[in-house]
Amino acid sequence: MTVITVSRQYGSGGDEIASRVCEILGYKQFDKYLMAQAAREAGLTQEEMIDFPVENHKVRGFLDRLFGRGGPVVKAYFWKEDETGAVVSEEREYLEEAAIPLAQNAIRSACQEGKMLILGRGGQAVLQDEPCALHVRIEAPMEKRIQTIKQQLRQTKEEFHADIDLRREAQDLIQTRDEASRDYLQEYYHVDWADPSLYHLVLNTSKLTIEEAAQMIASLVRIFEAEHRADAQPAAA
């Protein structure tokens, strides 16, 4: 059973491509699977980690806080309803050294389950030697990424901002996010996240649309799966 890991530069379209690949292949997104694993490790039930329709309660917020690179102590917020039906939160602190193995265990479990797409989180390093894993890297030139993030910033800001201010903010975001990803892989796995030898496929989204990139990945996955099925067949007598 195949697992896809996707590493991406910030603003390269990697998130959108990953979502589209899951739609094409019927693969599951890893984040909710990771949340379930984290709940079990933390001694919580799924019901105690409700995905409320409020932005701050979403799954990604929980994961970013638990598995983000916020310092030596990681704060995780668990949301639930009390006996009156009101939403309450409980804050727990984890040493970062404890949070990382939790994510690693969930990634390895996902590999055993198969048909899962892991976006970021060091999947390409954790599963580097796993034959079930197909590793993909998404990149784009800096200028294209700046324009993409600028457009996103325009859509989220109510008041007018000068183009030069948006450009500076976009550059800062790209630098911060890319450095965090690079440092995470270097610190915990001692690999260079941009090393092409880590990946089966590296795509430049300045040359491809989101749909074209997703279809290329899906096609490679189908070939990958067919080869593994053939290898699993018993040899003819």
User: How does pLDDT run across 35-56, given as a tens digit for each residue?
Assistant: 666 656 555 554 444 433 333 3
Looking at the structure of the chain, the number of domains it has is: 2
More confident residue, 216 or 100: 216
The reply to whether 190 and 122 lie within a common domain is: yes
The reply to whether 94 and 151 lie within a common domain is: no
Question: Given a cut of 60, is residue 237 above it in pLDDT?
Answer: no
Q: Is 172 exposed, middle or buried (0-12, 13-18, 19+ CB in 10 A)?
A: exposed
Question: Given a cut of 90, is residue 17 above it in pLDDT?
Answer: yes
* Residue 213, token pair as written in the block: 């990139």
The reply to whether 61 and 127 lie within a common domain is: no
Task: Please give the residue range of the domain that contains residue 19.
Answer: 1-27+115-226
- Amino acid residing at 31: D
The reply to whether 155 and 165 lie within a common domain is: yes
Q: What is the pLDDT of residue 183?
A: 87
The reply to whether 22 and 50 lie within a common domain is: no
Q: Helix or strand or coil: residue 60? A: helix
Mark which of 77, 97, 113 sits at the end of a domain.
113
The reply to whether 77 and 123 lie within a common domain is: no
The reply to whether 69 and 93 lie within a common domain is: yes
234 assigned to some structural domain: no
More confident residue, 236 or 1: 1
